[in-house]
Amino acid sequence: MANRSWGGRFERDLDKKAAQFSASVDVDKRLAPQDIRGSIAHVRMLGERGIIPAEEVRRIIRGLEAIGLEVEQGRFHWDSAKEDVHMNIEAALIDKIGEVGGKLHTGRSRNDQVVTDMRLWTREACHFTGSRVAELLAVLAVRSAGAIDILLPGYTHLQRAQPIRLAHHLLAWCEMLERDRDRLFDAAKRMNLSPLGSGALATTTYEIDRRATAKELGFDGITRNSLDAVADRDFLIESVAALVNCAVHMSRISEELVLWSSQEFGFIKMSDAFTTGSSMMPQKKNPDMAELVRGKSGRVAGHLVALIVLLKGLPLAYNRDLQEDKPATFDAFDTVNACLEILAGSIATAEFNSERMRAALAKGFIEATELADYLAVRGVPFRKAHEIVGRLVRLASKQGKHLSRLTLEELRAEHEGFSTDVYRALDPETAVERRRIAGGPARARVKKEIAALRKRLQRSGIDVDRTAARFGAKVSRPD
């Protein structure tokens, strides 16, 4: 049997196996800083409202601060028999200052206490992970600046499609990641209401001041309904969903790194610092870090599913099932943070093979669209131009030629609108520069987008060059 840390209602101790099964302190002790902050705000408010004498409030706060220091220094003894982080801290407080420590829980339940802790922790975690996303963005901003003049094929269906700038491709990754960061910040903003004072489910008869504790804890306000406040964890679902989006985007980036570093592509050479060898094949240099980032995205998605399934059948208000929200949430944030750091290092130190990328433009008839556009701007309906160029691709394919190697006579045999200037239109650089509308890959557009990205990062407090250099990126600026 296990001794109960609370509860005069019971005649028997809790079964030892049941106590082990229900203990959560090994996981939720991570909430200790938030728990202590919330407790200090709560007891200070109790003193201000005259519910607890001022001297007792001072003793409780000093005791909590001492426990906080022990936790920070790794000297605090966690006892699984006391079930969770809350009971461990409260028991330690009573040991330090006597029975007056038991007054800390006046007008409060573990139900509103734990959800307050989780909101505080997750709010901070969203901002921390958002800053890690910004670091990866800084790396990409610097690498984009050094890749403006590198051309490579853009792909659809993993088939060569049209020429683009490498910088334009890297900026596409940035667009994904910036939305991920914004989603995390949005989630942090939406959850920023204090549930403290909701009690177990129906508030309390004490004349507490919920707005005072909310203000001290940095909340924007208080929750409006006590039942909802203690019962729902949608703020965790929203936060972890944002993490899943980020993990999926990192997985897609990693997939391209894996493809590009293969001998078949040869577009990129990953640093030795972020690759591994084979236990059997001496020649291998495997992009394992990118593969692991790709693989861990499934783990993060699994945590989201776990949270959704956890909540979907729960009646109001609090149910012990909600104890299981923490492992999923903590690991989702930990995993995404680790992936962001590894991906930043991998991209910062990778070498782009500009010659191999440029050579890939010579195969796959990626200049075909330029040929169709050439006719279209001269009045040929695009669908007809598409058909004409399709026949020219078939001809060039049979002859083993590029479209640019077809003679003017061969081109004009399909349509008389072709003139000698058609060959300039088939040059990849010309093709890219013609796409100078907003969002396009023309050099001026790409430079403008890099500058705008840098400004956005700098406004959020990121020193772009210094951050990128910390991950090993060589800082360069476009002409």
DSSP string, 254-291: HHHHHHHTSTTT--EE--GGG-B--SS-TT--B-HHHH
How far apart CA 106 and CA 109 sit, in angstroms, is 8
Average pLDDT over residues 50-78: 98
pLDDT in tens, 292-351: 999 999 999 999 999 999 999 999 999 999 999 999 999 999 999 999 999 999 999 999
Q: Residue 313 in contact with residue 322, Cβ under 8 Å?
A: no
Average pLDDT over residues 262-284: 89
| Model pLDDT, residue 111 | 97
Residue 8 confidence (pLDDT) above 70: no
How far apart CA 107 and CA 405 sit, in angstroms, is 84
Residue 11 confidence (pLDDT) above 80: no
pLDDT in tens, 133-142: 999 999 999 9
Nearest to 198 by CA among 227, 161, 158: 227
pLDDT in tens, 379-429: 889 999 899 989 988 998 999 888 888 888 888 888 888 888 888 888 889
Average pLDDT over residues 153-160: 94
DSSP string, 408-453: HHHHHHH-TT--TTHHHHTSHHHHHHH--STTS--HHHHHHHHHHH
Residue 42: both structure tokens together = 């709560």
Task: Give the position of tokens 């991209």.
Answer: 347
Helix (H) or strand (E) holding 193: strand 193-194
pLDDT > 70 fraction of the chain, expressed in percent and rounded:
97
Average pLDDT over residues 167-195: 98
Mean pLDDT of the chain: 94
Residue 1 confidence (pLDDT) above 50: no
Domains and CATH numbers, the chain: 16-106 (1.10.275.10), 111-149+156-206+218-359 (1.20.200.10), 368-425 (1.10.40.30)
| Model pLDDT, residue 114 | 98
Average pLDDT over residues 10-34: 88
Counting Cα atoms < 13 Å in the Cβ hemisphere of 478 gives 20
Which residues are identified as catalytic?
Answer: 157, 278
- Residue 206 confidence class, pLDDT cut points 50, 70, 90: very high
